[in-house]
Amino acid sequence: MIFFFAGIYACKKEVLNSIFSGFQKPSNFPEPAYHFTTNSVTKEGFELGRKLFYDPILSADNTISCGSCHIQTSAFTHHGHIVSHGIADRMGTRNAPPIMNLAWNTSFMWDGGIFDLDLQSVAPITNHLEMDETMSNVINKLQASSQYPSLFKKAFGSDQITTAAFLKALSQFMLMCISSNSKYDSIIRKQGTVSFTADEQEGYTLFAQKCGSCHKEPLFTDNSFRNNGLTPSMVDDQGRFIVTQLNEDKYKFKVPSLRNLAYTAPYMHDGRFLTLDAVLDHYSSKVELSPTLDPLLQQENTAGISLTTDERTKIKAFLNTLNDRGFLFDKQLSQP
Amino acid sequence: MKTLSYILASGILFISFSCKKDNKYDSSVKSSLSVEFDNVVGSSDLQLNTGTYTNALSQSFKITKLKYYISNIKLTKTDGSVYTVPQAESYFLMDESNSASQKANLSVPEGEYKTISFIVGVDSLRNTMDVAARTGVLDVSAAAADMYWSWNSGYIFFKIEGTSPVITGMGGIFQYHVGGFGGYSSATLNNLRTITLDLSARGTAKVKTGSQPNIHLFVDVLKALNGSTNIDFVTTPMAHSPTAGQPVCNNYINMFSHDHTEN
């Protein structure tokens, strides 16, 4: 009898194990930029990373987790928040970007100040306006907890929690946050019988002409930094310039992906636009000329992108095919 | 016969001389050598929090924190051969509040060394290495916690903080943080500097098993504030980026001097 149950239990466990397939590149995506050779995604590492991602132990007063501002049902953004608030309701100056397809990112943050995903988590943990914790205290808290040392041992072979193991576990979770199952993807991969509507198809053509050089398929970003003609706000955030201190980088920000726009409003680095219409208004009529304005946004002394009402409707129809609802409810990525 | 004995005698002498030479240094054997970074302010010993000093602009100040990285140490022997301390063993964080940190303890081949060179800061290669290679003084959860820019990935090479009565805002504090390894994807400001010091005038380092030679350097932090740019606490109390820190960097290249060697 005992053997019988043990047999069932073992089978069940194997079935669960087999569900985790590690990092899988979608067939219509390019090779990832991340260095998997020094951090291959394992079930144990991923699950540890997920637990850490949702654990407020990472913040100074144990109130805020990564998941507090990167909410799965908003495609891992802080939907509805122009900028996010950290512990003690301190406000930042930038809109929380999505944790999505980061394996293909060549840099992180709106200004690209971080060049390795493994180093990314240090920034929000130690930022005074965000989690305001010290890295050493995080490691100490984890080491002193009843659960984490054994989880680190399972994932990385030692119950002595190191900075590298901690950061790599978080990377493993974030690398698995892949959004690649939008209607657009199904059509590109020729899955089933799904196809674009006439508006979506025309929108796709218009998009390729007017938006696609920066928002490059299939990730809908070319990972570059560009000044898209936003009028600087009171904060006067100079973007990429803060990192490189090169004058040519003034007011440039990373080109964001356009996947999951339906769930990630507000838009732009400072969340100034609450709707897609406001974004399209900006590109069609409010682009401000400045020395570093992107050349693609100034054609013959006219700033912006010409868009008729009909074109806008069609482009929006196409953009809606980039929404991946399954990503929002993927249980594997949810708080355990 | 007499001639032969002279020849024999000189031969013996020659042999014994070469034996002696071989005995003196065996370059296949490593032995300890320390390099001491003795922080001073002008002609005074540096006293954190309590010592009061004056810069070139006659502004009085106190120092509350002084930390800097020394890395990539190279030593040149009197015969011209160069020994490079292996990269992994070549990172040191000098912290004025921790006297044990102010000596770089090395293990180098026996020999007489006439020159030392090192980088102030953390080289660009290590600055871009996998997080697993960032251990010891480079661990951002430990020793490097306040020597790292998380928002602009990179180590802070040199950090001096203190107070001055001439600074009216922000509690009268000044903070000069120097970093910038040249950029990862686009070429940006590089504040890495290599310092080379000749030891021959004030004593070469004679590294030999059984002895504990110590190269005693003076690090005059007043020279980080005074120099090609005299740092003005009133106009520039803060530097927190590669550009802002560059004047301090260009000053501190002159703050290292060899005082003596204890052999």
User: Residue-wise over B25-54: b if at least 16 C-beta within 10 A, else e?
Assistant: beeeeebbbbbbbbbbbeeeebeeeeeebe
pLDDT tens track for A110-145? 999 999 999 999 999 998 888 889 999 999 999 999
Distance from CA of B211 to the nearest CA of A (A): 37
Query: Which of these, B180, B141, B178, lies nearest to B160 by C-alpha position?
Result: B178
Q: What is the pLDDT of residue A80?
A: 78
Q: What is the pLDDT of residue B130?
A: 94
A115, A123, A135: residue with CB nearest B185: A115
Instruction: For residue A154, give every residue at least 6 positions away whose Cβ sits within 8 Å of its Cβ, in sequence order, or none.
Output: A44, A48
Q: Is the pLDDT of residue A2 over 50?
A: no
A115, A164, A244: residue with CB nearest B153: A115
Instruction: Flag whether residue A235 sits within 8 Å of chain B, measured between CB atoms.
Output: no
Phi and psi for A77 in degrees, rounded to 5? -120, 180
- Residues B68, B145: contact at Cβ < 8 Å? no
CB contact under 8 A, B141 and A126: no
Q: Report percent pLDDT > 70 for chain A.
A: 95
Distance from CA of B255 to the nearest CA of A (A): 27
Mean pLDDT on B187-191: 92
B131, B135, B142: residue with CB nearest A119: B131
CB contact under 8 A, B185 and A163: no
pTM: 0.87
- Residues B192, B119: contact at Cβ < 8 Å? yes
Q: Is the pLDDT of residue A11 over 50?
A: no
CB contact under 8 A, B152 and A246: no
Q: How many CB pairs below 8 A link A and B?
A: 78
Instruction: Flag whether residue A243 sits within 8 Å of chain B, measured between CB atoms.
Output: yes
Q: Which residues of B touch chain A, with CB atoms under 8 Å apart?
A: 128, 130-132, 134-135, 139-142, 145, 148, 150-153, 183-186, 188-189, 241-243
Instruction: Flag whether residue A25 sits within 8 Å of chain B, measured between CB atoms.
Output: no
Distance from CA of A162 to the nearest CA of B (A): 8
Residue A257: C-alpha distances to residues A223, A231, B131, B219 (Å): 9, 21, 27, 50
To test the contact with chain B by mutation, choose from A132, A162, A240 the residue with the greatest count of B C-beta atoms within 10 A, namely: A162
Q: Report percent pLDDT > 70 for chain B.
A: 91
Rounded Cα distance, B165 and B60, in Å: 7
pLDDT tens track for B50-97? 999 999 999 999 999 999 999 999 999 999 999 999 988 999 999 999
Beta strand pairing status for B173-179 and B238-239? parallel
Q: Which residue has the higher pLDDT, B114 or B18?
A: B114
Rounded Cα distance, A237 and A135, in Å: 27
